[in-house]
Amino acid sequence: MPAESRRVVVVGTGYVGLTTGACLASLGHRVVCADADAAKVAALRRGEVALLEPDLHELVRDGLDGGRLAFTGDTAAAVDDAEVVFLCLPTPMGLGGAADLAAVEAVAGQIRHRLPAGCVVVDKSTVPVGTAERVAALLGRSDVPVLSNPEFLREGSAVHDFLHPDRIVIGGGDPAALDRVAGLYRALDAPVLRCAAADAELAKYAANFFLAMKLSFANNLAVLCDAVGADVSEVTAAIGLDPRIGPAFLRPGPGWGGSCLPKDTHALLTACEGAGVDFPLLRATIETNVAHQHHLVDRIAADLDAGGRSLAGARLALLGLTFKAGTADLRDSPALAVARLLRARGAVLVAADPALSAETTDLSDLLTLVEDPTEAADGADACVVLTEWPEFRALDWERMAGHMRGRTVHDPRGVLDPDRLARAGLALHGLGRPR
Ligand code: UGA
C-alpha cells in the first residue's frame, strides 16, 4: 500500500471508468467501481472484461484477487465512506450537438445525501465548462468540493496512457481537494497542472479539437499531395520534425471518428455558439471531415467508372469497420460513414474486421459481415481498406487477387505494402501517395 492509500469510488465502468478504477487499484488505492448495469457488474465481479483494451483484464483480475478492487450496482451505498468519487459517465451528443449531461445529473442526485463530509467529487467525463459548478449546485453540499480532472486516454491504449500520462490536469478552487486528487497519482511520473475547474474542462475539449484539426489538415494535405504529385508521408515527416508541429496525428485516412472526437468537437461548437463566439476553424475542422469522406467515395466511383463499371451495383470488399485498429468500437466510425455513403450510391458491401463477427454485430441493413477477408473479396469489383489493422498488411494478397473480380485496392490509411500488391497484380490506390 502506498503511504497515501485512498478509498476511491468510480461511478461508471466504461473504458474510462474501468481503466481509472483498475489503474488506481494497481497504484494501491482501495477502489469500488459502481455501475447501474447489473449484468455488467456481475461479469466484472467474475473478472470478465468485455472491452478490448490491452492489460485491462489483467489489472482487473489483480485488483479483485488483491482485494483492492470491487464492483457494485449500488452507487449510493458505495460512496458512503469514499474519500474521492470519480464520475466517469457517458456524455453523449445531445440535442443540437451539446453534451447530454443526464447521466452526470442523475448520479449527482443519487449520491448527494450519501457523500460523507469532506469527500471530493471529481468529474472525469468530458463535460462542458461550468459542469463542476453545476454538479456542486446539484449536490448542494458546501462540505463536498467538486473538481474537474479530465482524462486524455486513447481507446486501445487506455491502461498505458493512464499509467504513463503526458500531464495530469486538475481543476478546482479548493487547495486541499486538489492536493488529495493529485496525491492519488503520486506514483506516476507526470507534471500535474492545477488550475480552475473551467480551465480543466476546456482543456479537454481544446485537446480533442486540436487533434481533430490536425487530422482534417492531414486529410486535406493528402488530397493536395495527390493533386500535385507529392507524397504525404514525406511531407508530414518533414513538417513533423518541427517540435512546434510534432509528428503524431498526421496520418491521413477515411476521416476521424470514434466515441470522442466527433461528439466533443460538436459539443464545443455548440458551446461556442452559446457563448456568442465564432470559431471558424472548429466549423471547418468538422466540415472538412464530412467533405473528405465524400471525396473518397467520389474517387472510388471515378475509378470504377474508368474501368467501365459503375458504383451503383458494384460489389465492394471493405476491410475494417472499427473506428481505428485495436478496438471493437464502432461508435462514429469513419469506416461506417464511408460505407453508408457507398451504400447510398448503390454499392453492395461485404466487410471483414478482425474484431467483429456477424453473431455479435448486426450491420445487416448496411452490409454483409463475413469472417474472412478473402470471403469479402469474393467477386469484388474493388477492395477498400478502412481500418489500419496490421492483419490486412499481412494478408495473402495473391489469394485476395484470386478472389476479386476487379484489380483495384483503395488504401486511404496507407496500411498495405505497395510491392506485395504489385506482385499480386493489384493496383494500389492510396491517399496522398504517388501511384
Ligand atoms: C481520443 C484522443 O486521442 C484521446 O486523447 C482522448 O482522451 C479520447 O479521444 C477521449 O476524449 O476520450 P480515441 O477516441 O481513443 O482518443 O481515438 P484516437 O486514437 O484519437 O483516434 C481518433 C480517430 O482519428 C480515429 O478514427 C483514428 O483512426 C483517427 N486517426 C488518428 C487518424 O486518422 N490518423 C492519425 O494519425 C491518428
Question: 3-62: per-residue pLDDT in tens?
Answer: 578 999 999 999 899 999 999 999 999 999 999 999 999 999 999 998 888 999 999 999
Pocket of ligand 1 (CB under 6 A): 126, 151-155, 208, 211, 215, 249-251, 253, 256-261, 323-324, 334
Q: Which helix (H) or strand (E) holds 268?
A: helix 261-274
ipTM of the complex in this document: 0.96
Residue-wise pLDDT for 241-297, tens only, equals 999 999 999 999 999 999 999 999 999 999 999 999 999 999 999 999 999 999 999
> Which of 380, 287, 390, 288 lies closest to 342, judged by CA?
380
- If you ran DSSP here, which 8-state letter would residue 36 be given? S
| Distance of CA 416 from the midpoint of ligand 1 (Å) | 21
Average pLDDT over residues 198-225: 98
| Distance of CA 9 from the midpoint of ligand 1 (Å) | 27
Just give the CATH number of 7-195: 3.40.50.720
| Distance of CA 287 from the midpoint of ligand 1 (Å) | 17
Residues contacting residue 72 through CB under 8 Å, at least 6 positions apart: 32, 33, 34, 41, 78
Burial (Cβ within 10 Å: 0-12, 13-18, ≥19) of residue 390: exposed
| The predicted structure's pLDDT at residue 243 | 97
CA 29-32-35 angle, 5° bins: 145
Task: Look at ligand 1, atom 8, and give the residue with the nearest C-alpha.
Answer: 154
Residue among 208, 333, 411, 413 whose CB has most ligand 1 atoms within 8 A, to mutate: 208
Q: Which three cell numbers stand for residue 258?
A: 470514434
| pLDDT at 79 > cutoff 90 | yes
Q: Write out the E strands in 130-277.
A: 146-148, 168-171, 192-195
Contact by Cβ (8 Å): 374, 350: no
| Distance of CA 1 from the midpoint of ligand 1 (Å) | 34
- Atom index in ligand 1 nearest the CA of residue 219 equals 33
Residue among 245, 256, 338, 389 whose CB has most ligand 1 atoms within 8 A, to mutate: 256
- Atom index in ligand 1 nearest the CA of residue 156 equals 15
| pLDDT at 1 > cutoff 60 | no
- Give ranges for CATH 3.40.50.720 in the chain: 7-195, 196-435
Task: Look at ligand 1, atom 20, and give the residue with the nearest C-alpha.
Answer: 154
φ, ψ of residue 10 to 5 degrees: the values are: -115, 120
| The predicted structure's pLDDT at residue 2 | 55
Just give the CATH number of 196-435: 3.40.50.720
- What predicted TM-score, i.e. pTM, was given to this entire model? 0.95
What span, in angstroms and rounded, lies between the C-alpha atoms of 182 and 165? 13
| Distance of CA 324 from the midpoint of ligand 1 (Å) | 8
Q: Which three cell numbers stand for residue 52?
A: 478490448
> Catalytic residue numbers?
260
What span, in angstroms and rounded, lies between the C-alpha atoms of 19 and 31? 12
DSSP 272-317: HHHTT---HHHHHHHHHHHHHHHHHHHHHHHHHHHTT--STT-EEE
Average pLDDT over residues 389-400: 97
| Distance of CA 208 from the midpoint of ligand 1 (Å) | 8
Task: Look at ligand 1, atom 2, and give the residue with the nearest C-alpha.
Answer: 154
Average pLDDT over residues 363-383: 97
Q: Write out the E strands in 206-285.
A: none
Residue among 154, 353, 385, 431 whose CB has most ligand 1 atoms within 8 A, to mutate: 154
What span, in angstroms and rounded, lies between the C-alpha atoms of 411 and 404? 16
| pLDDT at 435 > cutoff 80 | no
| The predicted structure's pLDDT at residue 247 | 96
Q: Which segment of 95-109, 189-203, 232-246, 334-348 scores lowest on mean pLDDT?
A: 95-109
Residues contacting residue 211 through CB under 8 Å, at least 6 positions apart: 249, 256, 261
| The predicted structure's pLDDT at residue 3 | 56
Average pLDDT over residues 57-82: 97
The alpha-helical segments, DSSP class H, found in 85-174 are 102-111, 131-139, 158-163
Its sign, for the CA torsion 353, 351, 252, 419, is positive
Burial (Cβ within 10 Å: 0-12, 13-18, ≥19) of residue 263: buried
What span, in angstroms and rounded, lies between the C-alpha atoms of 324 and 337? 13
Average pLDDT over residues 130-139: 95
| The predicted structure's pLDDT at residue 99 | 83
Task: Look at ligand 1, atom 19, and give the residue with the nearest C-alpha.
Answer: 154
